[in-house]
Amino acid sequence: MSLLLGDTAPDFDAETTEGNISFHDWIGDDWVVFFSHPADFTPVCTTEIGYTAKLKDKLAARGAKAIVISADSLEDHKEWIKDVEETQGAKVEFPLIADPDRKIATLYNMIHPNADAKVTVRAVYVIDPKKKIRASIIYPPSAGRNFDEILRLIDSLQLTDGYKVATPVNWQDGEDVIIVPSVSNEDADKMFPKGYKTIKPYLRTTAQPNK
């Protein structure tokens, strides 16, 4: 199954370390970072789980939360969490989905046989409160992810949902943004009272409007 941006994230029922869930009900009104791990008790995954645990407050400030899937058993997940908390110095307070038959991993296109038929890739899905897939990133099993970039991505998505702007290369929260080309100069004058700079007719920058 190929999932595209704007698609509704497939719903599923699953066993997790925080009890049984129905995914759409669990999402509720939050943004979600849903990401996969090739296996439990693996070194890169352990660092990723630990770092995400440390981001709990930063995610919450964005109305977001994390959920993890790995194609191992619930019992393995619970033992692995102990290792994560011991080695990474952070309490894991988000659910890990047990997916030993890889049904959910297959549903979310996390199995890439030409990369490695035996394990899932490091997939990340950002899902909004309407249950729509807003972003996806696929890493090979060997490369750890940059979760600070995922926070930046959520900031951009939430900002651009509310204003007719786009975020430029390497943008960080609080920096200038780009007015989308579909906005006329006349409308831009009304929409961006702080003013804007015209670099080219199609490239106009303005202060971040929600700051």
Tell me the H-state helices in 6-73: 23-27, 43-54, 56-61
3-state secondary structure of 81: helix
Catalytically annotated residues: 45
Q: Angle CA(76)–CA(59)–CA(208) in degrees, nearest 5? A: 150
Query: Contact at 8 Å (CB) between 108 and 36?
Result: yes
- Statement to judge: residues 121 and 173 lie in one domain: no
The CATH number assigned to the domain holding 180 equals 3.30.1020.10
36 and 104 belong to one structural domain: yes
Quick check: is 140 in a domain?
yes
Let me know if residue 194 belongs to a domain.
yes
- Smallest Cα–Cα separation from 70: which of 79, 57, 62? 79
Kindly state whether residue 152 falls inside one of the protein's structural domains.
Answer: no
Ordered per-residue pLDDT tens for the chain, 211 residues: 589 999 999 999 999 999 999 999 999 999 999 999 888 999 999 999 999 999 999 999 999 999 999 989 999 999 999 999 999 999 999 999 999 999 999 999 888 766 665 667 789 999 999 999 999 999 988 899 999 999 999 999 999 999 999 999 999 999 999 999 999 999 999 999 999 999 999 999 999 999 8
Residue 17 sits in the same domain as residue 80: yes
- Same domain? For 109 and 49 the reply is yes
Tokens 């297959």 map to which residue?
106
Residue 5 lies in a domain: no
- For residue 19, being part of any structural domain is answered with yes
State the residue range of the domain holding 201: 163-206
Nearest residue to 8 (alpha-carbon basis) of 156, 127, 157: 127
Identify the three-state secondary structure at position 111. Answer: strand
| pTM for this model (two decimals) | 0.94
Judge if 88 and 26 occupy the same domain. Answer: yes
116 and 190 in a common domain: no
Number of folded domains that form the chain: 2
